[in-house]
């Protein structure tokens, strides 16, 4: 994970923030694509196939996490010459998962950033007022819309992707981003999240993973060169 990529993601973050901030109707327009005025509901949220796909997607990220952590443990045990690197890898994977999708997203933002979900607002037959992504004072009190929790967990796949051999790393990043967006699409289809919830879930997780990677690996690399 390099500084050049971090700068490009920062540009995406700024553009996204301004776009969804000045034109909040984008979120409503995208959400309306999944809403049926006739049924006064998001019909796909009752679709059994979609629910199965969602559960499989959620299971997949935990399989990825388990395999990645198991690999790091095996490296630490079997390759004593690489013990320090394997230990940092284990810390990197564990801390980024706990801090990113865990503490920052699901404990912090989703409980204290009071944005109601699409299915809860008056535009889609709910009772709450729509709130833009930047407004934390919405009427939701817990497990709110900003940011998308399941997407955040899926976007975390960029952490193990960053550890892949260089020829495979780009494919790993592509998979992680696509996986996060796909998981977000599933939740959007059910009226559970806005498009901006998904975009910012990816941005936030990227920077948490990038920061921890920088602290553990780039700082260690600098120390070795001294």
The yes-or-no verdict on residue 219 having pLDDT over 80 is no
Span 56-80, mean pLDDT? Answer: 87
How confident is residue 50, by pLDDT bands cut at 50, 70 and 90?
very high
Share of the chain above pLDDT 90, in %: 83
Which residues, in sequence order, are CB contacts of 128 under 8 Å at separation 6+? 116, 120, 121, 122, 138, 139, 140
Q: How does pLDDT run across 73-85, given as a tens digit for each residue?
A: 887 777 665 777 8
d(CA 13, CA 18): 9
Q: What is the pLDDT of residue 221?
A: 54
Lowest mean pLDDT, pick from 107-121, 123-137, 158-172, 210-224: 210-224
Q: How does pLDDT run across 106-136, given as a tens digit for each residue?
A: 999 999 999 999 999 999 999 999 999 999 9
Q: What is the mean pLDDT of the chain?
A: 92
Q: What is the pLDDT of residue 16?
A: 97
How confident is residue 72, by pLDDT bands cut at 50, 70 and 90?
confident
Which of 65-74, 200-209, 215-224 tops mean pLDDT? 200-209
What's the 3-state SS for 95-161?
HHHHHHHHHHHHHHHHHHCCCCCHHHEHHHCCCECCCCCCCCCCCCCCCCCCCCHHHHHHHCCHHHH
Q: What is the pLDDT of residue 114?
A: 96
Q: What is the pLDDT of residue 226?
A: 42
The yes-or-no verdict on residue 19 having pLDDT over 60 is yes
Q: How does pLDDT run across 20-49, given as a tens digit for each residue?
A: 999 999 999 999 999 999 999 999 999 999
């Amino acid at each position: 994970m390099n500084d050049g990529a971090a700068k490009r993601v920062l540009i995406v973050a700024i553009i996204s923030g301004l776009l969804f901030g000045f034109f909040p109707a984008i979120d409503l327009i995208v959400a309306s694509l999944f809403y049926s005025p006739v049924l006064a509901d998001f019909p796909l949220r009752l679709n059994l196939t979609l629910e199965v796909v969602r559960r499989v997607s959620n299971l997949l990220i935990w399989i990825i996490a388990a395999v990645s952590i198991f690999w790091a443990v095996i490296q630490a045990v079997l390759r004593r010459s690489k013990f320090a690197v394997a230990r940092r890898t284990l810390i990197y994977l564990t801390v980024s998962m706990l801090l990113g999708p865990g503490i920052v997203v699901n404990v912090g933002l989703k409980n204290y950033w009071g944005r109601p979900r699409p299915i809860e607002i008056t535009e889609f037959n709910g009772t709450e007022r729509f709130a833009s992504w930047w407004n934390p004072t919405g009427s939701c009190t817990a497990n709110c819309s900003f940011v998308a929790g399941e997407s955040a967990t899926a976007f975390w796949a960029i952490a193990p992707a960053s550890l892949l051999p260089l020829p495979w790393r780009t494919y790993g990043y592509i998979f992680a981003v696509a996986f996060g967006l796909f998981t977000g699409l599933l939740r959007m289809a059910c009226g559970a999240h806005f498009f901006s919830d998904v975009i910012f879930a990816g941005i936030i997780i990227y920077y948490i993973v990038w920061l921890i990677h920088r602290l553990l690996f780039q700082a260690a690399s600098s120390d070795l060169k001294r």
